[in-house]
Chains A and B, each alone.
Chain A
Amino acid sequence: MPLRILRKNNRELSDGELLARFHDKGDLKSLGELYSRHMHLVYGVCLRYLRNREESRDAVMGIFEKIASEPERHRPDNFRAWLYVVAKNFCLMAIRSEASGKAKHEEWAAEQELFVESEPFLHPVDREGSDADRALRECIEKLSLLQRESVELFYFENKCYREIAEKLGSDEKKVKSLLQNGKRNLKICMEGKNVRYDEE
């Protein structure tokens, strides 16, 4: 596993420091700066769920107001991960509260079903520099044809979703779900083999 270099920049404060400034001194500007750092992600998530540019922009502002208005309640250790949950829930709520949201909600729910696992986890395959050891290899062999193809093309041949989709005569969405389901099966298989990877 490669070294994780903590972000220490003299000019720039870390997420945690900015958050602390907001919490301790009520410095809204710090929160704004912190939020801006992650805004492209928040905006993207909003677009994904709301599928509407204007609504998404409103949501980005709304999410900011939300985190600004609940300072005492949350002191997340990992602001970024927390923000993801907040943003996602905000969008889901917006979808639910909207009458027209029904269709949208069903739409993404159906999409979600494609993915057996909705919450991602740090998977053995995803570990950087993972030498596909023997157990992994064996497990990959056991995958369904399409899942195996996808996993191999993606991780061993370094093909992007688009290329894989082309190769399998499918689309990117399907490839993503093949990968996710493939990884899930791999995990189950690996656990069966009692191969353990330490957390972190």
Chain B
Amino acid sequence: MSGMMKNNGKREELLRYAAGEMSDKERNAFEKELQRDQFAADAAEGLSLLEPADAASDLDKLERRIKLRTARNNIVFYSGVAAVALLFIITSVIFLRPEGKVGPLSPTVAEETTAKRGDTAAGQDKVAATLADTALPVTDSVMLITATKPVATEATQEKSEYISRTVAPDREITLKDTSLIAAGAVQPVMIDPSGTTLQMKIAEDERITGIVTDETGKPFPFVNVYIQGQTSTGTITGEDGRFIIPVQARPDTVITVVAEFIGYRQLLVQADKAEMISIRMEPDIKALDEVVVVGYGEQKRKPVMATARSKEKNLALSDIILTGEVSEIIPGDTLQPPHYVPPAPVVGYRAFHEYIAENIRLPYYGQDTILKTVEVSLPVSHRGKKGTPGIVSSPGEWYSEEAKRLLIEGPEWQPAQRSGKAVIDTLRIRIRFVPARIP
């Protein structure tokens, strides 16, 4: 691989390329370099997903962060390592506090903490102060590794922001060798670049199971169930109303499960991993006239909208629920929440619905009388380019393929907007395969 590329000049070139500012001749010359340099090729692909101005300002911002980071920690070489470990502990504390879980301080770990405090006091006054302020349930910290990510992204305090920048790698370090760290060996732990050892550790295979019923007590399929604060950790109930959510958290963390279905009130339930939880949904009267209500399971519960659209020639009715995935806002980045507009089909949602309704196909086999839902993720670049659809959940291969086909062949998209600027975003689209009434 060519490692000789000069980078200072390359940065501007790369940005110009990503911004599409080069002439075709220049592009070709640059692309030939990219062919020899996978690093730059990947980077070019990534950067071209952003608005050119955003890319440049992000890089400036990052450069400032690095400057800040290195200026702060230049005193003791190893303090960087220890600081990361410390910050990680603090993050855990912050994570824990709202839950009100302050465990007893085990003697070994207490000693360890004191030692670390001493080591880093010189370079880390601020951090040490924070540490002193907090009643430390250190015993909990090591276990909570996987929780640091969500904390980092959702944190709103200044302290947490700093942590969010620095704590990430430690998550892995600690993961690999929790016992070592707990026992007091705060040495940098080498991470196997292949990452295989780590992956196994991450998969702790904890899960929350439960059943969702409707107001009459019947199993409620297709309900959106997820962990509060982590919309991405979730699933949809099966035909029997049951769900399983894999979670990564220590056994006695309080986890709140959110159950949602259009036309029903959103429910929050505290989950206990040991027990199956049961959730009973209640209709939300107010919501009924403003949303599309979809039938589920039985034929008589006909979808309101779909009935109106139902043309006899259609084999299938469909309904689409679109949710833009709004990524969390990192504090310090934007002071007020940016105005977010999710991506929209160029032809408009109405036409998009019609397109789906007209083109959707049901499997030929059997008399499939049960509604099926496929949830697809669709990245839309800031230029409105569709990415490859990914399957989030699906009842089967056939449905997955059909849903993907519909999106790939479907209309183009208007990019999402944040504060008036087009940005890349990933849509979640639920496509429902509704069996047609047999004439």
Contacts and interface: CB of A to CB of B under 8 A. Distances in A.
Nearest to B325: A100
Given A37-B8, A47-B50, A103-B390, A161 B169 contact: no
Interface stretch (B93-101, B186-194, B283-291): B186-194
Nearest to B192: A89
A139 interface: no
Interface in B165-181: 165-173
B238 to A, nearest CB: 18
Given A41-B40, A45-B39, A53-B423, A120 B76 contact: no
Contact of A49 (B28, B44, B46): B46
B40 A35 contact: no
Nearest to A119: B38
B106 interface: no
Contact of A40 (B43, B170, B388, B390): B43
Interface string B57-87: 0110111011101110110111011001000
Contact of A97 (B6, B149, B166, B329): B149
Contacts of A88: 42
A49 B230 CA distance: 20
Contacts of B164: 58
Interface string A27-65: 111011001111111111111110111111111111111
Contact of A80 (B39, B71, B74, B426): B39
B62 A100 contact: no
Contact of A51 (B1, B329, B426): B426
Contact of B169 (A69, A110, A179): A69
A36 B11 CA distance: 11
A155 B36 CA distance: 13
Contact of A61 (B18, B69, B202, B233): B69
B27 to A, nearest CB: 3
A54 B330 contact: yes
A169 to B, nearest CB: 16
Nearest to A126: B36
A103 B22 CA distance: 33
Given A45-B46, A68-B80, A98-B232, A154 B59 contact: no
A99 B244 CA distance: 13
- Binding site secondary structure of chain B: helix
B199 interface: yes
Contact of A162 (B24, B29, B168, B198): B24
A158 B70 contact: no
Nearest to B13: A40
Contact of A41 (B7, B77, B84): B7
Contacts of A6: 4
A174 interface: no
A153 B172 CA distance: 45
B74 A99 contact: no
Contacts of A56: 46
A40 B11 contact: yes
A78 B84 CA distance: 26
A36 B63 contact: yes
Given A89-B193, A100-B232, A32 B70 contact: yes
Given A32-B70, A59-B168, A61-B62, A106 B390 contact: yes
A53 B327 contact: yes
Interface string B372-394: 00000101000000011011100
A93 B69 contact: no
A54 B63 contact: no
A54 B4 CA distance: 30
Given A28-B70, A161-B31, A93 B172 contact: yes
B43 A45 contact: yes
Interface in A1-47: 4, 6-7, 25-29, 31-32, 35-47
Contacts of B65: 61
Given A40-B14, A65-B166, A161-B27, A86 B193 contact: yes
A89 B42 CA distance: 13
A69 B153 contact: no
A58 B390 contact: no
Interface string A100-131: 10011011001100000001101100100000
A61 B188 contact: no
A134 interface: no
17 contacts: A37-B7, A37-B8, A39-B66, A41-B7, A47-B50, A48-B42, A48-B43, A62-B168, A65-B80, A65-B168, A81-B1, A81-B39, A88-B42, A97-B171, A99-B233, A119-B38, A161-B27
Given A69-B80, A81-B1, 8 more contacts: A28-B70, A35-B66, A44-B44, A45-B46, A69-B81, A96-B199, A120-B37, A163-B27
- Identify the 5 closest CB pairs spanning chains A and B, nearest first: A26-B77, A44-B43, A100-B232, A62-B168, A47-B46
Interface of B: 1-8, 10-11, 14-15, 18, 22, 24-25, 27-29, 31-32, 35-47, 49-50, 54-55, 58-59, 61-63, 65-67, 69-71, 73-74, 76-78, 80-81, 84, 146, 149, 152-153, 164-173, 188, 190-191, 193-195, 198-199, 202, 230, 232-233, 246, 248, 327-330, 333, 377, 379, 387-388, 390-392, 423-424, 426
